[in-house]
Amino acid sequence: MGNAERHMNKRVVKDILLVVVLTVFAAQLRVHPFDTTFRIGLGVIVFAMGCLYKKDIPVLWTGVLVSIAILGFRTWISLRAGDGLLPEAILDHIPGSLYYTFFAVLVKYSKVLSLDNRPTHMGFALGVIDFSSNIFEIILRFIIVQEFIQGTSFFIHLLSLLIVGLLRMFFVTGLYSTTQNQGLRLMRQAEKKKLEELVLLTSSLQAEVFYLQKSAKDMELLTKESYEIYKSLMEKNERELGKKALQISRMMHEVKHDYTRINTGLKKLLKAPERTEYTFSEILELSIKVHQTYSGETDKHVHFTKDLGLDFYPKDPLAWTSILNNIIANGVEAIQKRGNIHVELMKQNKDLILKVSDTGRGISSKDVKHIFVPGFSNKLDEVSGCYSNGLGLSHVENLVEFFTGSITVNSEEGKGSTFEIVVQENNVIRGEYSEL
């Protein structure tokens, strides 16, 4: 027997003992409805819940152990209280203890626990089993201690037992269903959060892949240029310089191959998450949620608003995640302490127009023409004293150009900036769009 199996067996034994102990004590909370020793207790509620929540335990053997434990416990209490001798106490408590064995037999062979995805059906079936087990106990009391329900109200008493059984078991299945649904909701929320984090991570890494592809193309062009320089120098009989140019060309070629290998490996790793059916509005909500958290962590109070004239499924959701993240991040960084960021999406003829406005520090007229240049930044980190790397907006421009679109900025120093992206709808929208 392996360690895992031994561990599982120990856990099952612990679960059985827990159900037995809790059922025994709960069974002592009871009422006597018929002026006889017959009783209705809470033990069966605990036992039924144990069977539902601890599905690994053997129901039948657990029921037998519960019967033995209740018989022993109640007999001990009777003897302590001076209610007769040992044989009498045992006979008196046998029917009530065997109730749980009979209940367990019916639960096991009716397979009622397999109805946990249909709580109403399961509640009704368990209620009937509870009622049947009570009838079994009443018959046993008549056989063993010659005790039976008397009077003209016999059928009313039976109806009461049926109603009590149904109420007890509907309470059990209702509570079980509620807690299970709550557990599923929490699991779905956790899975959604993980998926959102994965989408953001993937979009960020894809930005790096994009730059690797661009660098590989630049390396290819430099290789060609270096080789042309080599040929030109050799024609001019500049053999030493020509050899160096050829060596540079070869090195560039090797570096380009390295970039290509890295890029190919990253592409294989960066498989999109299972759910790629994100609408533009969902991507925007995700980006806003992330930057609300970020702005709070940097002691900024940023109010986000949006005005979407339509919604659609993007052809490349990760690219649009990266575009929105970078532009909104730029707006958050531009805001000093308090400010607003507004996102607007509209359709004009065959074009989609996306505007992202912020009430940050704005951009000076001399800097506006440089903001899409890689490495340029006018944002100083007051904590580190360093400027930002200036790659975000250049990456946005590259992605927009990939969609054969355009991006412009209108900014006024001290008042804020508005970025406007214009792309043709057939380059962006997958399928149909819906107006909002």
Q: Which CATH superfamily is domain 280-435 in?
A: Histidine kinase-like ATPase, C-terminal domain (3.30.565.10)
List of residues 6+ apart from 117 with CB closer than 8 A: none
For strands 30-31 and 338-348, give the pairing: unpaired
List of residues 6+ apart from 121 with CB closer than 8 A: 115
Q: What angle do CA 426, 431, 436 make, to 5 degrees?
A: 90
List of residues 6+ apart from 197 with CB closer than 8 A: none
What are the C-alpha distances in Å from 314 to residues 216, 318, 321?
A: 27, 9, 10
For strands 429-435 and 310-314, give the pairing: antiparallel
Q: What is the pLDDT of residue 339?
A: 93
Q: What is the pLDDT of residue 153?
A: 65
Q: pLDDT digits over 233-292, tens only?
A: 888 888 888 788 778 877 877 777 677 777 677 666 665 454 456 789 988 988 888 888
Q: HEC profile for 91-110?
A: HHHHHHHHHHHHHHHHHHHH
Whether the model pTM is above 0.85: no
What are the C-alpha distances in Å from 98 to residues 115, 223, 409?
A: 25, 89, 81
Q: What is the pLDDT of residue 147?
A: 66
What are the C-alpha distances in Å from 384 to residues 299, 360, 388?
A: 16, 20, 10
Q: Return the percent helix, strand and coil in the chain, to nearest 5.
A: 65, 15, 20
Confirm if 374 and 394 have CB atoms less than 8 A apart.
yes
Q: What is the pLDDT of residue 160?
A: 79
Q: What is the pLDDT of residue 393?
A: 83
pLDDT by 10s per residue, the chain, length 436: 455 455 557 888 888 999 999 988 888 876 555 455 455 678 888 899 888 888 888 999 999 999 999 999 989 988 888 777 888 888 888 888 899 999 999 999 998 888 877 888 988 999 999 899 988 988 888 888 776 665 556 677 778 788 888 888 888 888 888 887 776 677 667 766 776 666 666 666 665 665 566 667 767 777 778 878 878 888 888 888 878 877 887 787 777 767 777 767 766 666 545 445 678 998 898 888 888 887 888 888 999 999 999 999 998 887 888 889 889 988 998 898 899 999 999 999 889 999 999 999 888 888 888 787 765 565 544 444 333 434 578 878 888 988 899 999 999 888 999 999 999 999 998 888 887 7
Comparing C-alpha atoms, which of 120, 115, 95 is closest to residue 51? Answer: 115
Number of other residues whose CB lies within 10 A of the CB of residue 208: 15
The three-class DSSP label of residue 219 is helix
Q: Which residue has the tokens 């412009």?
A: 408
Number of other residues whose CB lies within 10 A of the CB of residue 96: 22
